[in-house]
């Protein structure tokens, strides 16, 4: 459509034109949660930002292949299992289920794969072997470590040029060549889960897991790698070092997409301050789509302060927009098709079309939701004043299509445009039942009845195709 998409790449430190490696395919790896507790609004903010990115890519004709991991073995999980006096494997199961329900309620697009660390131990060991064999890693008394001095570009992502700023994993300083080397494989400790390896029984280090799983599902070079700004150092810095060393490709990631943190009334969200808000609590208090709209009120790279005044303001805004859309949809079916627009009406029509254009351009400019929301609310004001007061078919249709465009990016009005998700799921199940009935009819050679079902479904936009004894269906239109 001629519109170029720009996003900010953390590595280059600037807004750049988006050009994927193999268009129209776009590969995305998102650093998911460590499921040792209920996911909170900070996790939610990050995933809503990535969801906006994915919807934007789809709008511009790209096919996104998005993967998000679960770090299902970690010190925090082990500690939590001891606190709750349960097997460590029960902890991630409980909190992964919670997290997936949260993302479903908030209407995020599901990721294609949710790889778990414990399911990829063999691949992780193979990745570490590659680093050891190439001389980028060494075996110590307590683990296998990445030799940071062997990688000349370390610190490029986080802009940490001084080695004194690289120090990490200080609990094993005595076993490392340098204070800034990091663990690839941790040797077994008493009362901790472990796996066999060529070096010793143990478990993976944090950073190697993401390099391994992203490579397995997305290949040796990734278009977009996303995560919170808190992951830039050391996690993403270490991912780059070990991945580019093992794979021999630079840059390993073409675009680093980082999301700002959430603060609570101006303070950092932390366990010590007791201000962590579980995601489901926030959804139940404010409403799923209201909360989603609020999460989309601030540019993804900026911090988002979670306070009642701002939330209340955005909820009022969301309700005003929702009311406008509901009214437009209600009156549209009662209007006669226009045969003529006078000059004033034609001017309003052109303004609505231009708002549509401006909104898309704002999102294409590094997902600039601040500008997009300004345009959205300006359009809402015009529509209430000039369209709903004297509704005309062409103006109402243009207004509905404008809001549909917005929803393609924001995903906050699916219930209005397409019905509740639960209702959609029921429709899909009913189609499946009809397909089962049709298969039985075909088995018993009642072809006239089976063709009748196929034709009637076709009239509704459900296309049925037969391949041998199997039948398939797809929705061609809503």
Summarize pLDDT for 417-469 with one digit per residue, the tens: 987 655 666 777 788 899 889 988 888 888 899 899 999 888 888 888 887 77
What are 43-89's pLDDT values in tens digits? 999 999 999 999 999 999 999 999 999 999 999 999 999 999 999 99
**Mean pLDDT, rounded, for 242-249:** 98
Q: pTM for this structure?
A: 0.87
- The pLDDT, as a whole number, for residue 421 is 57
Annotated binding site for Zn(2+): 31, 210, 235, 239
The predicted pLDDT at position 1 comes to: 53
Segment of 171-175, 180-184, 272-276, 446-450 carrying the highest mean pLDDT:
180-184
What's residue 247's pLDDT? 98
Burial state string for 68-107 with b = 16 or more CB within 10 A and e = fewer than 16: bbbbbbbeebbebbeeeeeebeebbebbbebbbebbebbb
pLDDT computed for residue 422 by the predictor: 58
Give the pLDDT score at 354: 98
User: What superfamily would CATH give domain 6-281?
Assistant: HUPs (3.40.50.620)
Locate 331 and state its tokens: 């009156």
Q: Please, which pLDDT band fits residue 249 given cuts at 50, 70 and 90?
A: very high
What is the average pLDDT across 373-379?
98
DSSP string, 360-371: HHHHHBTS-HHH
Please enumerate, by residue number, every residue annotated as part of a binding site: 31, 210, 235, 239, 271
Domain boundaries, given as residue ranges, for the chain: 6-281, 322-417, 421-475
Residue that the structure tokens 């900010």 belong to: 8
pLDDT of 194 over the 80 cut:
yes
What pLDDT score was predicted for residue 423? Answer: 64
Q: What's residue 459's pLDDT? A: 84
Percentage above 70 pLDDT, the chain: 98
| Contact (Cβ atoms closer than 8 angstroms) between residue 48 and residue 292 | yes
Average pLDDT, the chain: 94
- Return binding residues for ATP: 271
């Amino acid at each position: 459509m001629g519109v170029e998409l720009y996003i900010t790449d953390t590595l280059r430190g600037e807004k750049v034109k988006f050009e994927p490696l193999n268009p129209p395919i776009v590969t995305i790896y998102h650093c998911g949660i460590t499921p040792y507790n209920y996911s909170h609004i900070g996790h939610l903010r990050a995933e809503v930002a990535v969801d906006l990115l994915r919807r934007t890519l789809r709008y511009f004709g790209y096919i996104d292949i998005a993967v998000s991991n679960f770090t299902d073995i970690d010190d925090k999980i082990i500690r939590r299992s001891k606190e709750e006096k349960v097997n460590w494997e029960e902890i991630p199961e409980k909190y992964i289920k919670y997290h997936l329900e949260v993302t479903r309620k908030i209407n995020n697009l599901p990721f294609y794969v949710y790889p778990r660390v414990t399911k990829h131990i063999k691949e992780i060991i193979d990745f570490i072997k590659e680093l050891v064999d190439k001389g980028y890693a060494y075996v110590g008394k307590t683990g296998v470590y990445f030799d940071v001095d062997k990688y000349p570009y370390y610190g490029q992502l986080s802009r940490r040029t001084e080695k004194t700023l690289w120090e990490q994993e200080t609990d094993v300083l005595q076993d490392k060549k340098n204070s800034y080397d990091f663990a690839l494989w941790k040797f077994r400790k008493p009362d901790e889960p472990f796996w066999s390896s060529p070096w010793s029984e143990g478990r993976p280090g944090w950073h190697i897991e993401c390099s391994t799983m992203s490579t397995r599902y997305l290949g040796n070079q990734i278009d977009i790698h996303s995560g919170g700004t808190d992951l830039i150092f050391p996690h993403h810095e270490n991912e780059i070092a070990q991945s580019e060393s093992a794979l021999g490709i630079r840059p390993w990631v073409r675009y680093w997409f980082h999301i700002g943190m959430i603060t609570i009334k101006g303070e950092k969200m932390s366990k010590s301050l007791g201000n962590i808000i579980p995601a489901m609590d926030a959804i139940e208090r404010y409403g799923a789509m209201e909360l989603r709209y609020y999460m989309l009120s601030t540019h993804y790279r900026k911090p988002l302060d979670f306070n009642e005044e701002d939330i209340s303001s955005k909820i009022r805004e969301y309700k005003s927009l929702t009311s406008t859309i509901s009214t437009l949809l209600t009156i549209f079916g009662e209007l006669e098709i226009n045969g003529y627009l006078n000059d004033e009406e034609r001017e309003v029509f052109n303004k609505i079309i231009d708002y549509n254009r401006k909104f898309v351009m704002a999102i294409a400019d590094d997902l600039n939701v601040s500008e997009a929301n300004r345009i959205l609310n300006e359009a809402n004001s015009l529509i209430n004043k000039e369209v709903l007061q004297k509704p005309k078919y062409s103006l109402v249709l243009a207004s509905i299509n404008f809001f549909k465009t917005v929803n393609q990016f924001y995903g906050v009005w699916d219930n209005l445009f397409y019905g509740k998700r639960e209702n959609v799921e029921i429709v899909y199940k009913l189609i499946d039942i009809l397909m089962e009935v049709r298969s039985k009819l075909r088995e018993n050679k009642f072809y006239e009845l089976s063709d009748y079902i196929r034709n009637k479904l076709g009239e509704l936009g459900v296309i049925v195709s037969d391949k041998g004894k199997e039948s398939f269906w797809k929705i061609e239109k809503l």
